[in-house]
Amino acid sequence: MDLARRLGVTHVTVNRTVRRLQRDGLVTTEPYRAIFLTPAGQRLARECRERHALVVRFLEALGVPSAVAESDAEGIEHHVSRETLRAFEAHLER
């Protein structure tokens, strides 16, 4: 219930999501205990953090204020292609 409250969703949503993450091999759980990322889950989490950071850096390089870049990156990072992310990175390396 704490997770549902923290995320602002229902406990049903949390339960369904955790079951899906378990099915996909990304987390393990124990009743009434914490949720643990598997190695695959840790890898995916790291990739998500890196993708988010890249989009934020790119937006900031364009002159977007940090707070706005953080907010906008939340949507962009889920819809941008790998090819575009590589172009962002290449641009930032120049």
| DSSP secondary structure, 3-64, as one string | HHHHHTS-HHHHHHHHHHHHHTTSEEE-TTS-EEE-HHHHHHHHHHHHHHHHHHHHHHHTT-
**What pLDDT, on a 0 to 100 scale, did the predictor assign at position 33?**
83
Banded model confidence at residue 1, pLDDT cuts 50, 70, 90: low
| CATH number of 56's domain | 1.10.60.10
* 82 and 49 co-located in one domain: yes
pLDDT in tens, 9-28: 999 999 999 999 999 999 99
Give me the mean pLDDT over the 31-43 stretch. Answer: 92
Verify that 65 and 86 share a domain, yes or no. Answer: yes
